[in-house]
Structure 1
């Protein structure tokens, strides 16, 4: 070892320690930054920073996938992806004020700190309390100024004690009742007890006086166990409400409904109501009477005008707590019921009072959650799902943007969670859920595009990572029903609003049409990810999605080469199929062939039947195009060559293929006859696109043939589903 220089010794003595500390701090900072980025990537579902990832090196058909996977949606908030991963239950800060107002109905406290949604404005759509005092207290606590907050709480406590002392002197019986039933949780019937200014309207003053008397009477009659509701009491309240619109009787009726709906509630204060429900007969009568009478009575004081409620009227203050109590009771009943008929009855009632739900952000979120729960419940029938979707769609139309985002996100995630296909019957249910979910995306073009972009991009990221890793675990992340049904969902959204119903919503069509290309790229990548024989069913599912997208939007997608690849695989050209006595597989409900079906004749026959139907549909979709005779030539040559090589081994399908080829020739001659009558050149693209636009593809020879095959497949599938359900 050589001699150490003098400069080095000086550096070691004076600066080495500091330099090492600085470098250590830099390393720690870099590691901390990497950990944060990794956590951020996990939260957004991207698995890391996608912009810095290696460029995609997959097959040529999906060479644009990397650019889309690393892109960001335009015109969207920076926090959108955080919102997409956020917990919908996190924003419940406004729920306390709703509970207080419901409790005010039970106690008599008429406090006004509430989270009303502004009756058409989006100011309070985030669910925050409209009373600014709560927000100030929260800010002070976050800033660490706990002294002021404690002083405020002490003042409120002193004021509350003074009110209790005044009530003790004024009404000792009522005070005793409150002591027995937990004054913090039990709140019984009294309006304007917080020193609010009296209403100038004489009718409102009389109503409040009646309400106070009703509160006192209910509290005195209740005792420690509460007054038992009878049929006579219900009839009396119903008669008073019908004849005089008595708010006094309405409050009693809604308290009885609250007691009925919370009979089995886990809330400790649920049973501290002034009424008791005994027996199913009284329960049923209480619920039916309330649902029949309450909306009309509430509408007398807070009418619905053009789907909205005027919250600035003086009458609104009288019934606001009543409305909250009624909505809370409906939601509680909806959570408890298991009978489909009763659930449908309650959903219809919720649909009637959607404007009242839309007034309160907390109840709107709770209703959205309940409707989504029923929509995705395995025990729910199709009628419940359809009603839940219709009510949710109506609620979204009347709610601010925050609720719209929550509903769209919840609908898609509910669909994905329940999209695992096991039988043909479950596949039918999933198709119904998909169609219902698509309907919800027609409301807001911007919100629909944002959600569609983010979730399609997530699918593209998963596919890109799988093609780069090339492992069994990465393939399983793609080849599963959740991924395939997610693709089917967005295909249906694009096919519906950029094709079938493009004229109904041109703005939505122009917004979503840019997503047709990335969805197509993702599907093509899935098709070619593992091109083996056991995944022929998955390839058929993907080709059907491409066919649906191409037929609806008019965008040409090369489907025939991918379908003919199946016919030219080694399973048909290179080996002899194994004989088997297994029953034919149900390819519609499978993504890959079961182990016992691989290389068997019964499996390959099912594949051929599906492929020939797919070929007929794909060719029929282009049968009215002006270039059809030339476009179909390569496919017919390959099909004739396949029939000549292996047709003798598949006699039944060789005959079916011969019929398909004959229909193709007939259609080509028909298109050629129409082309002989035209008087424009090939450069006139507008006229070329309008060629045979008055002729339906199903009326051509190949179209009629494809329609007959679809009809046969539909009958076979219906028979199989009936056998599954009956067995």
Structure 2
């Protein structure tokens, strides 16, 4: 630079010190740096109250300026526009509803509209639910079942407005508490399901919220939530169905921890819903069934090898048992060649659970597993030998002992997995076990009563029952077993006499199937006995339900009270209200063994 531009070099040499000290004060610090540090270090709590008031006032001024109040006249104008099918007004209506939802949820962000009155809020929600769906159906009609609204020519005009409208509905569903209002909103979401499918992220969050409502709400809300999810699954791809099935199954497991007369209807509702969802796509069902039945098998293997109380409790709980019953129902009702390979591992897991703990206290659990296997066998035609475990239960030591005198009520095995030690030798326990075992045996033999091999199937069981009938000292057990033996032998003799006249052999499977199909048109002795017991049991259950619902909560026994502790009468608007202290809090007791969750 000194050779080519000498003048510039001389200028730099003369002014170098000034350039280096530019922007610094006398102490060598940058100008303005100290002020910035002071501003950063000043804590927020040292601000004057006057400054805070000024800030809030400024925010209010901004919100007042930018937000337009929603009046009844404006809502009336929007209503007439929606009735005229003007699609452009949807944007304003959606923004106004979003403002009201923000007020409901506590969102403090500035909204383009403000809804302050209750009448305005109700009128706005009313036109949103009544007129917006009709306008969308007319302006963006559904051309075919598989056609999405995104293929319509007007989709680009209303895409953001429809998304905001759907978000508003989902926010209201999650924050409202009135059941009738939630049901109404869910029906609106169900009606607009074809639009919701066009937004994958919103669809995912919507399905998550609906699964939560389905698994935790009352029956009416749960049913409407499931129907909406069913619409989502029918309108989307297999990928969404896989995610939906997984989330619903995990929600079912999480909410089936306890079983009581109060929770049993909801658990049954969830099972029915899952069976219907699994029936939509059998290949997806096979994938999930393989994974979840394998998880049950791994958990059972861990409990079998570890021999610890905790591992037993991880299997002997309501979640595990409900999962077994659910998969038995799925394989029984979703009959296809795709799902047949899952029958054998499921039966192996169920029988392994029955053999895990030989204690008589777990008879209710074993009988529940046997009823699930009978259900699977009746629908699939699979031979699952459950008669031998039932005879083992009848011949157990606790069933042969003389029952102790007790005034206890009859035990309902539908809501318990094990009994206490005090209940083991009571007459109520023995009667309940005898009734369940006889129902299981009759159900099992009724399923196979039309089989051409029925005499060979019955023979070993009849031999064991005769021996048990001789050894037992219980008169009622003897009478029931003798009656069962008579019906089995009568059916066996009928099958033997009928098949002796046929001219085909066991190798001719097609002819055997036609013979068995013809036999199913006739009622056998075992089948008629089983139907009579079912009718009698149904009447007994109905009487029990009526008696339970008609019970009135009894008041606590009166005790001596001082004058100060007596109820005071308070006069409110010329009405006398007595302070009553007799409300009792009833708690559903459950077994401690049922507290462990199913490992996922």
When normalised by structure 2's length, the TM-score is 0.78
Matches of 1:268 and 1:720 in 2, distance apart?
A: 54
1:372-411 → structure 2 map (5 Å cutoff): 372-377=211-216, 380-411=217-248
Which of residues 450, 453, 474 in structure 2 aligns to 1:624? 450
Question: Displacement of 1:631 after TM fit?
Answer: 1.3
CA contact (8 A) 1:254 1:326 kept: yes
CA 312–612 in structure 1, closer or farther in 2 if over 3 Å, else same: closer
CA 665–551 in structure 1, closer or farther in 2 if over 3 Å, else same: same
Which of residues 502, 505, 511 in structure 2 aligns to 1:687? 511
CA contact (8 A) 1:697 1:703 kept: no
Map of 2:434 onto structure 1: 608
Map of 2:379 onto structure 1: 552
Corresponding position: 1:475 with 2:312: yes
Map of 1:323 onto structure 2: 162
Matches of 2:370 and 2:275 in 1, distance apart?
A: 20
Map of 1:704 onto structure 2: 528
CA contact (8 A) 2:207 2:244 kept: yes
**Structure number with higher relative contact order (C-alpha < 8 Å, ≥ 6 residues apart):** 1
Question: Displacement of 1:287 after TM fit?
Answer: 1.6
Question: Displacement of 1:616 after TM fit?
Answer: 0.8
Q: Once structures 1 and 2 are overlaid, which stretch shifts more, 606-615 or 249-258?
A: 249-258
| Secondary structure, counterpart of 1:686 in structure 2 | helix
Matches of 2:258 and 2:205 in 1, distance apart?
A: 29
Residues 271-297 of structure 1 show CA distances to partners (whole Å, capped at 9, x for unaligned) of: 624131411x43333222111111222
Matches of 1:421 and 1:716 in 2, distance apart?
A: 24
Matches of 1:721 and 1:423 in 2, distance apart?
A: 13
Whichever of the two has the greater Rg, that structure is 2
Matches of 1:565 and 1:467 in 2, distance apart?
A: 21
Corresponding position: 1:599 with 2:425: yes
Which of residues 394, 411, 430 in structure 2 aligns to 1:585? 411
Corresponding position: 1:293 with 2:131: yes
Question: Displacement of 1:539 after TM fit?
Answer: 0.4
Matches of 1:666 and 1:371 in 2, distance apart?
A: 54
Map of 1:276 onto structure 2: 115
Map of 2:354 onto structure 1: 527
CA 343–595 in structure 1, closer or farther in 2 if over 3 Å, else same: farther
Residues 160-202 of structure 1 show CA distances to partners (whole Å, capped at 9, x for unaligned) of: xxxxxxxxxxxxxxxxxxx95899xx9xxxxxxxxxxxxxxxx
Question: Displacement of 1:450 after TM fit?
Answer: 1.1
Corresponding position: 1:352 with 2:191: yes
Q: Once structures 1 and 2 are overlaid, which stretch shifts more, 693-702 or 443-452?
A: 693-702
CA contact (8 A) 2:402 2:474 kept: no
Residues 609-662 of structure 1 show CA distances to partners (whole Å, capped at 9, x for unaligned) of: 11111111111111000011221111112112212221xx43234323332222
| Secondary structure, counterpart of 2:515 in structure 1 | coil
Matches of 1:182 and 1:497 in 2, distance apart?
A: 63
Question: Displacement of 1:262 after TM fit?
Answer: 3.1
CA contact (8 A) 1:250 1:297 kept: no
Corresponding position: 1:227 with 2:85: no
CA contact (8 A) 2:115 2:121 kept: no
Q: Once structures 1 and 2 are overlaid, which stretch shifts more, 701-710 or 653-662?
A: 653-662
CA contact (8 A) 1:298 1:319 kept: no
CA contact (8 A) 1:488 1:545 kept: yes
CA 316–350 in structure 1, closer or farther in 2 if over 3 Å, else same: same
| Secondary structure, counterpart of 1:338 in structure 2 | coil
Map of 2:288 onto structure 1: 451
CA contact (8 A) 1:229 1:275 kept: no
CA 682–182 in structure 1, closer or farther in 2 if over 3 Å, else same: farther
CA RMSD of aligned residues (A): 2.2
* Structure 1: runs of 5+ lacking an equivalent: 1-178, 187-221, 499-508
Map of 2:399 onto structure 1: 572
Residues 416-442 of structure 1 show CA distances to partners (whole Å, capped at 9, x for unaligned) of: 111123323422321221011110012
Q: Once structures 1 and 2 are overlaid, which stretch shifts more, 576-585 or 524-533?
A: 576-585
Map of 2:91 onto structure 1: 251
Which of residues 527, 544, 562 in structure 2 aligns to 1:720? 544
Matches of 1:225 and 1:401 in 2, distance apart?
A: 44
Matches of 1:182 and 1:438 in 2, distance apart?
A: 57
Q: Once structures 1 and 2 are overlaid, which stretch shifts more, 431-440 or 300-309?
A: 300-309
CA contact (8 A) 1:262 1:329 kept: no
Corresponding position: 1:342 with 2:189: no
Question: Displacement of 1:446 after TM fit?
Answer: 2.3
Corresponding position: 1:516 with 2:516: no
Question: Displacement of 1:468 after TM fit?
Answer: 0.4
CA 294–441 in structure 1, closer or farther in 2 if over 3 Å, else same: same
Matches of 1:338 and 1:721 in 2, distance apart?
A: 29
Map of 2:495 onto structure 1: 671
CA contact (8 A) 1:226 1:275 kept: yes
Matches of 1:717 and 1:376 in 2, distance apart?
A: 26
Matches of 1:489 and 1:723 in 2, distance apart?
A: 30
Question: Displacement of 1:519 after TM fit?
Answer: 0.3
* Structure 2: runs of 5+ lacking an equivalent: 1-57, 552-600
When normalised by structure 1's length, the TM-score is 0.65
Matches of 1:518 and 1:259 in 2, distance apart?
A: 55
Which of residues 254, 263, 267 in structure 1 aligns to 2:103? 263
CA contact (8 A) 2:149 2:194 kept: no
CA 698–706 in structure 1, closer or farther in 2 if over 3 Å, else same: farther
Residues 285-340 of structure 1 show CA distances to partners (whole Å, capped at 9, x for unaligned) of: 32221111112222344332223324244421110011001100110111122222
| Secondary structure, counterpart of 1:581 in structure 2 | coil
| Secondary structure, counterpart of 2:506 in structure 1 | coil
CA contact (8 A) 1:578 1:600 kept: yes
CA contact (8 A) 1:225 1:276 kept: no
Map of 1:118 onto structure 2: none
Question: Displacement of 1:247 after TM fit?
Answer: 3.2
**Matched pairs, number:** 493
Question: Displacement of 1:697 after TM fit?
Answer: 7.7
CA contact (8 A) 1:420 1:482 kept: yes
Question: Displacement of 1:532 after TM fit?
Answer: 1.1
